[in-house]
Amino acid sequence: MTLSSGQTMSDAAPGRPPRHVAIIMDGNGRWATKRHLPRAAGHRQGVEAVRVIVRAAGELGIEYLTLYGFSSENWKRPIEEVNDLMGLLRLYIRRDLAELHQNGVCIRIIGDRHHLEPDIVALIEEAEALTANNTRLQLVIAFNYGGQNEIASAVRRIAHEVKEGRLDPEAITPETVARFLDTAGVPDPDLIIRTSGEKRLSNFLIWQSAYSELVFSDALWPDFTPDRLQEAIAEYQRRDRRFGGRPAVGA
């Protein structure tokens, strides 16, 4: 379902708020194009939206917030744009790490780090180590991440465990696979939001999203505000989550 800008939290029937919200942050380039600006300007404005939404998530009591920052397919973009995105990650961590730590945010970066510059890896490790014991909000940033690559990596690790005799193939369950994913220990997202009006997952958390509720916002990511986040949560609260089951007769 696509939200209209008129929906608010007051429209929602009473319902449990999502514990884990994941967002596909889409539309930075189109935001810039509409304003006759370079794409880099859209990405920079997108970082400002990240700051606002992270604060709002903490205030709304969301326990886990996962943001799709850079996909493994984004390397196909022009080198100038890729370099700009890498620079924005550096800037975000350097400028915001102290505030995030002070506000009780635990940072976790998922995705392949092997192709990242050493200084970026060092910044990621510093952010994770500094905030490891924080509990107010778990901020998961998917960077150089792809869902299919994540599953393939998990399968390789499971195969190695089987080969070494540490795991019985007959004992492998969905829970086993989940333990080998980048998101091990993080609950599956209750709600996945995609901005910009596009309606697809784009290789994002494809294992973990099996029973996630999907909400699509027409807002471009730089225009995605706390009010729009609340609209998405309101829509989520109206949903009847059955996880493959069905309600009791007469319910």
Q: What is the mean pLDDT of the chain?
A: 91
* Distance in angstroms between the alpha carbons of the first and the last residue of the chain: 24
Report the range of poorest mean pLDDT among 3-12, 109-118, 240-249: 3-12
pLDDT band at 15 (very low <50, low <70, confident <90, very high): confident
Ordered by where they begin, the domains of the chain are 2-6+15-146+188-238 (3.40.1180.10)
Give the pLDDT score at 248: 53
Separation of alpha carbons 103 and 16, rounded Å: 24
Describe the crossing of helices 79-102 and 118-131 by its angle, rounded to 10 degrees: 20
For tokens 């290789």, the residue is 203
Give the pLDDT score at 240: 83
Q: What 3-state class would DSSP assign to 138? A: strand
Q: Are 47 and 67 in contact (CB under 8 A)?
A: no
Catalytic, out of 11, 28, 74, 144 = 74
Residue 212 pLDDT exceeds 80: yes
For range 194-202, the mean pLDDT: 97
Strand 137-145 to strand 64-71: parallel, antiparallel, or no bridges (unpaired)? parallel
Give the pLDDT score at 100: 96
Catalytic, out of 26, 96, 182, 190 = 26
Residue 245 pLDDT exceeds 80: no
Tally Cβ neighbours within 10 Å of residue 84.
17
Describe the crossing of helices 79-102 and 39-59 by its angle, rounded to 10 degrees: 20
Q: Judging by beta carbons within 10 Å of its beta carbon (0-12, 13-18, 19+), is residue 229 exposed, middle or buried?
A: buried
pLDDT digits (tens, 9 = 90+) for 79-98: 999 999 999 999 999 999 99
For range 190-215, the mean pLDDT: 97
Residue 183 pLDDT exceeds 60: yes
Report the percentage of the chain scoring pLDDT > 70: 92
Q: What 3-state class would DSSP assign to 175? A: helix
Give the pLDDT score at 9: 37
Answer yes or no: 11 catalytic: no
193 closest CA partner among 24, 18, 6: 24
Q: What 3-state class would DSSP assign to 201? A: coil
Answer yes or no: 74 catalytic: yes
pLDDT digits (tens, 9 = 90+) for 96-151: 999 999 999 999 999 999 889 999 999 999 999 999 999 999 999 999 999 999 99
pLDDT digits (tens, 9 = 90+) for 38-71: 999 999 999 999 999 999 999 999 999 999 998 9
For range 15-27, the mean pLDDT: 94
Q: Are 93 and 127 in contact (CB under 8 A)?
A: yes
Q: Label residues 173-199 b or e (16+ Cβ within 10 Å = b).
A: eeeebbebbbbeebebbbbbbbbbeee
For range 162-169, the mean pLDDT: 97
